[in-house]
Structure 1
Amino acid sequence: MTRFLICFSIIATLYPASLPADGGGIDLSYRMRIVTEADFREHVVDRRAVGRNGDWNLSRSNGRLQGIYGGRQFKGMWRWSNVNWCRKGTLGGAMVDDCWRLEIDGGKLRVAPAKGGNTYTYRLN
């Protein structure tokens, strides 16, 4: 997968007009798509991800997850599945198990639902 991303990035740089308008599902403005648990642990685990509205989450190295979303406390567990970060926990009640694509650029983390939807950007502390 890493070789594909490197080749794709080189092609995108040399031939930008040949790419789909959406970049083929990859945001080329972000430096690195996190596709392995090892990369996730290296770049994100045990760092607080803080959103513009004060929401935050913290994925701990032991698999626990905590945060604040919409002013409500979230507690749960995270796991790695294929190339996605997945979470399951409670936020006022049972929360479904959902998975997210992750991209990182220095101190910023961008997350998007693996099944598609709105993208969110967090600052990593």
Structure 2
Amino acid sequence: MRRFSIVTLATIALALPTLAAAEFMQVKKEKQFRSQIVDRKLTDANGNWTIIKSDGTQSGSFNGQTYVGAWKWNGRYWCRNGKLGGQELGTNCQLVEIDGTSTRFTRDKGKGKSGGTYTIN
């Protein structure tokens, strides 16, 4: 009986972080994007950060390199064009998801690589 209890408790303990995590939901409207993300500092676990500004510009720092760019909302996607460390990144429209305290961007309208999770400050 004791062995069963330890295994059961261990299983529950491992599942709790998953159960407690909020579910990411797609941001589909520009109004929601502006109210929850724009003009706030977004920071990832590595200290990279960006601010997507209400005037259509964006700035930040990624891996020690300066990022500057412009953005617009297009349909259900956030589209950005910028330079990282002086190198043109080109335009990319991205799926935006939010869970209340975090956001993530996935390139190529959600079909590409995720840019990671950012804490909304």
Indicate the TM-score class for this superposition, using the shorter chain for normalisation. 0.7 to 0.9
Structure 1 counterpart SS, 2:88: coil
Matched to 1:96, the amino acid is: G
Q: Under a length normalisation based on structure 1, what TM-score does the superposition of the two structures give?
A: 0.72
Matched to 1:55, the amino acid is: N
> Could you say which residue in structure 2 is the equivalent of 1:103?
97
What is the correspondence of 1:1-125 to structure 2 with a 5 Å cutoff? 29-30=23-24, 32-91=25-84, 92-113=86-107, 114=109, 115-125=111-121
Matched to 2:58, the amino acid is: L
Deviations 1:47-93 (A, max 9, x none): 11101111111011111100111210001111111111111111122
Unaligned stretches of 5+ in structure 1? 1-27
Quote the offset at 1:107 in angstroms: 1.0
Q: Under a length normalisation based on structure 2, what TM-score does the superposition of the two structures give?
A: 0.74
Count of equivalent residues: 97
Matched to 1:76, the amino acid is: G
Unaligned stretches of 5+ in structure 2? 1-21
Query: RMSD of aligned C-alpha atoms?
Result: 1.5
Matched to 2:104, the amino acid is: R
Moved over 4 A (4+): none
The alignment-based identity, stated in percent, is: 35
